Amino acid sequence: MSIIDSAKDVYELVKSDATPELQQKLMELREQALVLQEENLALRMRIQELEHKATRREEIFFEGDGYWRKKTNGHAEGHAENGKDGPFCQKCYDIQGKLVRLQSATHMVACRDWLCVVCKTGYGRFH
């Protein structure tokens, strides 16, 4: 049973005989319980977000001019033969924390092998 349910039960038990002051206090208690429940939910969501970021930090590593993700569970979308997925844009990850996959750019940008479609940064060959 949640604090909201408990507050509702108390309110129902005393509302018929309650003074206006007691009814006001019960309403305030109910409002405070709702605020606590909303804060609790927000904190739980923040914890999940931080856990996700921590997991990502363990998976991501910098090599050459970009970021790569370690191959997990035996599968990776890119470069599976060498145990890594990527490359991902260094600029987008460093500034915004976004993991943006680089696209082959040899046909689009002179002297560049890779291009970030978000920030338009070009990269040379990755070793």
pLDDT of 119 above 70:
yes
> Whole-angstrom Cα distance, residue 87 to residue 113?
11
Let me know whether 68 and 114 are in one domain: yes
Q: What is the pLDDT of residue 122?
A: 85
Query: Between these two residues, 60 and 23, which has the higher pLDDT value?
Result: 60
Alpha helices in 20-89 (DSSP H): 20-59
Confidence of residue 82 (pLDDT cuts 50, 70, 90): low
Alpha-carbon torsion (41, 43, 47, 50), positive or negative = positive
φ and ψ at residue 66, rounded to 5 degrees: -150, 180
Classified as helix, coil or strand, 70 is strand
Tell whether the model's pLDDT for residue 78 goes beyond 50: no
Domain that holds residue 9: 3-56
Same domain, yes or no, for 114 and 71? yes
- Claim to verify: residue 52 and residue 83 sit in the same structural domain: no
pTM of the model: 0.54
Domain count for the chain: 2
